[in-house]
Structure 1
């Protein structure tokens, strides 16, 4: 009798234990409550690490000096204070500097993407002597720091008379030696390698030449590679301050370059507040927000194509 009751009790408890196990761990161990709680908690933590600097900058950029000095005001300012952005707008000379930044960033990025597509297609589809050696040499340029070649390039560009102009960025991009061009050549090489040769062979049977095949078949199908290469190239040219300061001098400027000398420019523009303590954290953060805001807008607009390009090309960014 006792064994019968024990067996029935186990049978009555078993369905509840199974249901609780499924709810907690899931059927396959990756769709239960605990698993999702761990994954979502991890994603929220990683997201907070990335978003914290943006939240900090935005919060401080909207604070007045009284809010900054008040220990009771932490994240939310007591009022919406926009004078910091007005001062940063004047110091950065925002609109002219933004247009100049787009000028020296977008054009080299477009040229670099186009040239790398041609080079990648050539390595992927044609056989020629020393092909592998040349491909290795092209890829090896990625591991060479730009500081190593900056002096000979500066001397060479000075002899050509292209210092202080966009040509100092445009000339290397035209020759496949722009900023991290080797990565984009590898991207296009891998993508064109995956395209079926039957499409090109069918086009050749119809009388199409190599250029027509490239522009009408290969290039339209390489949309994800084009998107990912252009966006990465645009970001790297935008953030480049070392080479830009050397090659451009005082002839051209960019928002990141203006941000580097933000404090000095502020002291020159407002000499009555020339003491370094007078430029508060809020004005500095406003200048930083205005510098990165165009890139955030570009990412928000192109986010769908960017994610699709990374997913389809299988490339992880830096």
Structure 2
């Protein structure tokens, strides 16, 4: 039976020449199609389930951020008042001004951007070259090198931290940005294996006939890489850069291990967040009945400041981020 439009359906129900049994059958079929759908159209029930799941999952992800933001906007009186839950009584920004001064945002933000950007550029460049080499060429011990690369990713990084620290100390890499640049330039940055595999998969899918045609026209290997491989792997470059940037930005243990082992002025936002309470107490000494005592609102303001740069980056690059993840077929950690 053809699908009746809404107007035709009501006209049919008001038609006295149609029996009640036939009207009931048509109404039942109409309601079934509305609830469960037909052909490729989703029914109302399926849409309700999907939207309920999306809202629930979204709430689980957004609740911590909403809680941090609302708490950061509450004064000490609101925090102590049990009646104030989600809506602060006043628009209180003093928490952010104090957190801004405690975290030394100017120096820590520049340090975070430096540590996240420079090693990421080296890591993406080297990973693309290594991935291109594995995908394009056959050479002796290729499978062995590939297996060793996978094995280096399987080994827990905690096992290698102390030997790596001893090695970096020997070459005087600790206490400077070189502790991150040199490993990234040698293909041993944070999770470099993942990026090599991404580029390997992309370059493996490139038709060999394109390289052969370019070589017939006189192109060398560098030309093939920069004129053929790189333009076709733009999504891989985007996703590798974004993930590498986020991982370097969020890395705190290695940053504190390599940078704070020697006297160094280079710091990051997350290192300042780790030392937030001690720095706050040093800048705002606490006396008896002092209003300077640290509270949950000030801590949450510092946390919001620490994640704000990444939120802004994702907001402006969301379209490229989603498209690249979809084309590379990987999931974030």
Q: Under TM normalisation by the shorter chain, which class is it?
A: over 0.9
Shift of 1:262: 0.6
CA contact (8 A) 2:73 2:297 kept: yes
User: Structure 1 residue runs of 4+, over 3 Å off?
Assistant: 272-277
Q: Provide structure 2 residue ranges, at least 5 long, that are not aligned to the other structure.
A: 1-17
The aligned residue for residue 97 of structure 1 is 108
CA contact (8 A) 1:108 1:169 kept: yes
2:304 is equivalent to residue 289 of structure 1: yes
CA distance in 1, matches of 2:259, 2:91: 38
Shift of 1:14: 1.3
CA distance in 2, matches of 1:29, 1:220: 36
Higher mean Cα deviation, 303-312 or 268-277?
268-277
The aligned residue for residue 231 of structure 1 is 242
2:320 is equivalent to residue 309 of structure 1: no
- Quick one: structure 1 residues 161 and 88, their matched pair in 2 at CA, closer, same or farther if it must change by over 3 Å? same
CA contact (8 A) 1:154 1:247 kept: yes
Structure 1 or 2: more helix by fraction: 1
| Equivalent position to 2:120, from 102, 109, 113 | 109
TM-score (norm 1): 0.95
The aligned residue for residue 253 of structure 1 is 267
CA distance in 1, matches of 2:226, 2:65: 41
The aligned residue for residue 68 of structure 1 is 79
**Aligned residues: CA RMSD:** 1.7
The aligned residue for residue 184 of structure 1 is 195
CA distance in 1, matches of 2:311, 2:41: 34
Aligned residue pair count: 312
2:210 is equivalent to residue 196 of structure 1: no
Higher mean Cα deviation, 306-315 or 140-149?
140-149
CA distance in 1, matches of 2:53, 2:296: 31
TM-score (norm 2): 0.91
Shift of 1:139: 1.6
- Quick one: structure 1 residues 142 and 69, their matched pair in 2 at CA, closer, same or farther if it must change by over 3 Å? same
CA contact (8 A) 1:120 1:186 kept: yes
Q: Deviations over 1:76-109 (max 9, x none)?
A: 1111101000000011001111011101111001
Shift of 1:11: 2.2
Q: Deviations over 1:264-308 (max 9, x none)?
A: 110111113599992010000000000000010111111110011
Q: Provide structure 1 residue ranges, at least 5 long, that are not aligned to the other structure.
A: 1-6
CA distance in 2, matches of 1:30, 1:140: 47
